[in-house]
A and B are shown apart, each in its own frame.
Chain A
Amino acid sequence: MVSSLQRRLRVRWSELLAGVFIAAVLLPQLAALVVPYEEFPYTSAPMFAHYVGPDTPRYRFRFVAERGDGSAEREIRATDLGLNGVELSRYFLGSIYGSMDPLSPFGHHGGDTPEAFEARLSTFFRDATTVLERRGGAAPGQLSGIRLEVVRLEGGNRDGEVHVVGRYDVASHHFTHTWRGQP
């Protein structure tokens, strides 16, 4: 069929090869038009696309380190984990937490379940604990748990309402999703 079409259109082999190259370069970008995704160098260019109005709720993640010796809790910063704030936020939302939008280019886990969510967060916090200890953010054995919270931001980016998503237990290496079932 290809060769008959080739004869009718008098297409050269060089044009067919060029066509394959064009398709290989272009198709992933055209796919991003239909199913938004971000994978360098392909992008659906979602920058600034989400609507932000006066009533749009804004949030932030908060990771709170709980210490086994009973000393004060401390918020874990992005730099404690060897990343900057933007990277940590985007990595955590996209690759671990997942957007609620099934068409989010920032990372959506299709068919996500509480079990899969707990498994991803268990892996992330196990790694985070390793990194914290390696980078001196916490002495080995000092951490007893890490609490994940989502904080609603008020005017001036002040912290507002807090929802505790769950808690990672360092000893058992397990994240328990505690928000489930709450009103």
Chain B
Amino acid sequence: MTSALRALRRFWFSIESPRTLALTRIVLCAYATVAMLPHDLGRLRSAGRRPMEFLDSSPVLDLLPIPFPLPEPMLAGFGYLMIGLGLLAAIGLFTRPALLLFAAGYWYIGAAISAWGYVTHSRALPAHVLLILAVAPGATAWSVDRLVAWAWRRRRGAVPPMREVLAGPAVPRWGTQLILVLIATVMLSAGLSKLRHGGLRWADGQTLGFYLTGGTTWTVAPVDAGADTAVRSVWRAGYSQLSGPSDAAPAAAWKDGFGIESYLLRATPTRLARAIARHRWLVVVLSVSAMLFELSAPVLLLGPWPRTFYLLGAVGFFLGIKFTMRISFAAWIVVCLCAVDWVWLAEQLRSGLPRWPLCRPVARAAQP
């Protein structure tokens, strides 16, 4: 028991350089402010205009002391406040309060736009990471706050190296570990969901093939709306497709006699997706790979190399989704790229490359 707790303690609280959290703070906050916020503030405005009769509130929305919907003048102020907080958090000025408020604002936005049955998966991980950054030690490294502290100490006579002050001391690594565990858990959840709801037959390629050929692209339009049967019109007026088992027991299907189990997500396949879907073996390979990749997510916690390979693999996975089904997980890509320990990777490559036969001539040529 004690040794297990010691291992757990080592896992969470070993000391490491705070560079991963600092990089994540700078890049994610800048990305969220510049790329995510304009879009999300628009969605928040739209959410406020929906009929409140259909509001499916969540604990997050209920707990945060921000009214919903925000009146129009307050909405503009909220937008400017979020932009200011995001920029402050990115550059690291009043870092902790800026991060805390920015994270709270993002949880609010995410919960508000998810309050009508739609859950914004693309914002789930960034919202978590912003909260972790607000609390975890090391997230304030490489910040204006540290620069100001360095300038202050310099004025008083002590002149520590600026780089040393900006980087700060090594810190317990639980912030980075928590981000990695969250990535692993959500990816594993996706794999387990496929096993739970689809079973092993999910790997036979039929499901992926259905989406890659545009199975849910075309809207299920109202009977009197022929013009609405166009791509994307399902977002305007039609309805999502629903599915259920073909052999539902009457007792389970008592509501309608069919037995409705789930809705099907809408995906708009690209030309690449349709080309892939023409090759049945390729769809099977991709289905099996996707399941194995998701189910193997915990390996990213096993050490620096598995972490590096899995995170870069995840970037490829999300790019694949983007370029086949037009579903963007850009914020996840940002988090995964920031979670790679680039300094460690560069050191490994620098020291390891000369041992690889193909790289020896290059390494020799690079030597002074």
Contact = CB atoms under 8 A, between A and B. Distances in A.
Interface in A140-183: 150, 152-153, 156-157, 159, 163, 165, 177, 179-180, 182
A47 B12 CA distance: 30
A45 B189 contact: yes
B117 A87 contact: yes
A25 B128 contact: yes
Contact of A43 (B186, B206, B233): B186
Contacts of B119: 38-40, 43
Nearest to B265: A47
A87 B116 contact: yes
B257 A163 contact: yes
A77 B237 contact: yes
Contacts of B135: 21
B174 A57 contact: no
A127 to B, nearest CB: 4
Contacts of A38: 119
A41 B124 contact: yes
A9 B6 contact: yes
B222 A75 contact: yes
Interface in B53-74: 53-54, 56, 58-60
A39 B115 CA distance: 9
Given A41-B107, A51-B206, A52-B215, A99 B262 contact: yes
Nearest to B6: A9
B285 interface: no
B341 to A, nearest CB: 20
B351 interface: no
A103 to B, nearest CB: 7
Instruction: Choose among A9, A76, A98 the residue with the greatest number of B CB atoms under 10 Å from its CB.
Output: A9
Interface string A72-85: 00111111011111
B322 interface: no
Interface residues of B, number: 99
Contacts of A59: 241-244, 258, 260
Interface residues of A, number: 92
A85 B114 contact: no
A53 B204 CA distance: 9
Instruction: Choose among B197, B237, B267 the residue with the greatest number of A CB atoms under 10 Å from its CB.
Output: B197
Contacts of A81: 51, 54
Contact of B186 (A45, A98, A134): A45
A42 B196 contact: no
A92 B13 contact: no
A34 to B, nearest CB: 9
Contact of A90 (B118, B182, B201, B233): B118
A67 to B, nearest CB: 14
A54 B220 CA distance: 18
B225 interface: yes
A46 B211 CA distance: 15
A79 B236 contact: yes
Given A52-B210, A131-B51, A163-B258, A86 B124 contact: no
B178 to A, nearest CB: 6
Contacts of B240: 60, 85-86, 89-90
A47 B253 CA distance: 23
A138 interface: no
A128 to B, nearest CB: 8
Contacts of B58: 39-40
A48 interface: yes
B202 A49 contact: yes
A76 B237 CA distance: 9
Contact of A100 (B2, B260, B266): B260
B239 interface: yes
Nearest to B190: A45
Contacts of A36: 193, 196
A60 B239 contact: yes
A48 B5 contact: no
A9 B265 CA distance: 48
A33 B13 CA distance: 25
B317 to A, nearest CB: 13
Contacts of A179: 254-257
Given A61-B242, A86-B240, A131-B53, A75 B223 contact: yes
Given A39-B59, A40-B111, A93 B266 contact: no
5 contacts: A39-B119, A58-B241, A77-B225, A100-B259, A131-B51
Interface of B: 2, 5-6, 9, 12-13, 49-51, 53-54, 56, 58-60, 107, 110-111, 114, 116-121, 123-125, 127-128, 131-132, 135, 172, 174, 178, 181-182, 185-190, 192-194, 196-199, 201-202, 204, 206-208, 210-211, 215, 218-220, 222-225, 229, 233-246, 248, 252-267
Q: Can you list the 4 inter-chain pairs with the closest CB atoms, starting with the nearest? A: A91-B117, A90-B117, A89-B240, A127-B53
Given A82-B54, A131-B54, 8 more contacts: A5-B5, A36-B196, A39-B60, A40-B110, A43-B121, A43-B186, A44-B193, A103-B196
